[in-house]
Structure 1
Amino acid sequence: MDGSGARVKPALARGAGQHLLLVVHEPDLAELLSTTLELAGYRTALAGTGGEALERLAEQRFDLMVVDAALPDMVSLARERPVVAHRPPVLVLTEYDSLGDLVPELGPGERDYVTKPVRVAEVLVRVQVLLRGTHAGHPRDGALSYRDLVLDDTLREARRGTRPLALTAAEYRLLRHLLVNAHRVLSKEQIGRYVWGDHRGDNSIEQLVSRLRRKVDRDAPNLIHTRRGFGYWLGHADTER
């Protein structure tokens, strides 16, 4: 809030000239995304089919792809298993909450998704999170890690040391968001918009964090912490600043 007590609308996530390939069949959606992303500081290129996208990838390097899972040639493209030297992280636009089954032909790597109809603010945030993950020293084989905590985005699995964590889709997404933003306090609103696409005013987030904490921090030093009045953060307590 500002000094008058009015709520200040948070600034939208912005880019720094990264090159994004938008693989979208619908003209209206392609125009919306390209206009929004370029206004936010990204450079964009368009491809209307999966085949065209692969041609673009073979010609030049992109920092991230935004892919519509409803592309008409997605199924045939998956069977061809084309070889692409550089596989950028992928943000999938889909009507279904089934990321593990999406765009397998793109190979291993960082992935996330937003559901359709897309929300511009959500697309901008998740593009920024994916790009941050690829430049933060994380392995480019689809794994994210913090000390003994490892998330495998290719298999959608997590483990703490040698112990596998049986996470629901919402728990996995929350843990991933906390891990990518390690040592940074995330508000309930930020978490709600990332996990569900909207802010939930009830105790859904408290319950989700509680379930995740029981799985992650069982028989091990606590990694998930509460900053009362502000939100939640991931990291070792002795590294808090």
Structure 2
Amino acid sequence: MNKILVVDDDEKIVNLVSIHLSRANYRMIKANNGIDALEKIEQEFPDLAIVDVMMPKMDGYELTKQLRTYDIPVLLLTAKGELEDKEKGFLAGSDDYVVKPFEPKELLFRVQAILRRYDKSVDTLINIGPMTINQQNYDVTVGDKTLFLPLKEFELLSVLASRTDHVFEREFLIERVWGIDYEGDDQTLNVHIKRIREKLRPITDEIKIVTVRGVGYKLEVAQ
């Protein structure tokens, strides 16, 4: 189930968008300003963000720039329809632009279109030090050696490698890899981390998965 972050200081708009997208089987994350949104994504990573342009504390253009550093696609939502405002939004990194008032069906179509484009981009490579992760064919190579990983280990390593030196909380990793409905304990995560470490250790000492006690894990690359 795709997760959509909705950011707007107008609670009515947030609720309207959430109602229609929830009916389309999207899971909603709500935020009422840019600062709140950035805090939310540290706890729960969205597949797409719908961002209002005119907000206090941080406007939608600046928030879009911040979200794009996390590779989160952005749909801007605004009352402005002038060409220069659209241009400013796209220059900030937005993927699309919807002008208020909008038809819920149009918003849904645009969300679906962005997610389709985002899904197609999953075939990009992640290059971390001597390691290359191919998310299209699930290959992991370190130098001239190939690392054979089961799917869950591959997904876990890919998440950690997506942001080196970033501490991922245990709950976030479990939800991201096993899903929000996972009912097992976090020992499963420990076991998968241990297996990945055991496979990395004989072939490289440049890449390490570090335990951050009481929080989670991060991937480090030796300089």
Query: Which runs of 4 or more aligned residues in structure 1 lie more than 3 Å from their structure 2 counterparts after TM superposition?
Result: 12-17, 27-42, 44-48
1:176 matched to 2:158? The reply is yes
Q: 1:237 to 1:185 in 2, by over 3 A?
A: farther
Partner of 1:154: 136
| Cα displacement string for residues 55-99 of structure 1 (whole angstroms, at most 9, x for unaligned residues) | xxxxxxxxxx324xxxxxxxxxxxxxxxxxxxx321xxxxxxxxx
3-state SS of paired residue (1:214): helix
Partner of 1:89: 118
3-state SS of paired residue (2:197): helix
| Cα displacement string for residues 34-66 of structure 1 (whole angstroms, at most 9, x for unaligned residues) | 987665654275449x9xx6xxxxxxxxxxx32
3-state SS of paired residue (1:233): strand
Taking the TM superposition and a 5 Å limit, the aligned residue runs for 1:63-212 are 65-67=114-116, 88-90=117-119, 109-110=121-122, 142-198=124-180, 200-212=184-196
Q: 1:189 to 1:33 in 2, by over 3 A?
A: closer
Partner of 2:17: none
Any gaps of 5 or more consecutive residues in structure 2?
A: 9-19, 30-47, 53-73, 76-97, 99-106
Tell me the CA shift for residue 33 of structure 1: 3.9
Calculate the aligned-residue CA RMSD, in Å: 3.6
Any gaps of 5 or more consecutive residues in structure 1?
A: 1-11, 18-26, 54-64, 68-87, 91-105, 111-140
Tell me the CA shift for residue 194 of structure 1: 0.7
Matched residue count = 137
TM-score (norm 1): 0.47
1:224 is matched with which residue: 206, 209, 218? 209
Partner of 1:233: 218
3-state SS of paired residue (1:208): helix
Tell me the CA shift for residue 142 of structure 1: 1.7
Tell me the CA shift for residue 204 of structure 1: 0.6
Q: 1:230 to 1:237 in 2, by over 3 A?
A: farther
Bigger fraction of residues in helix: 2
Tell me the CA shift for residue 171 of structure 1: 0.5
TM-score (norm 2): 0.50
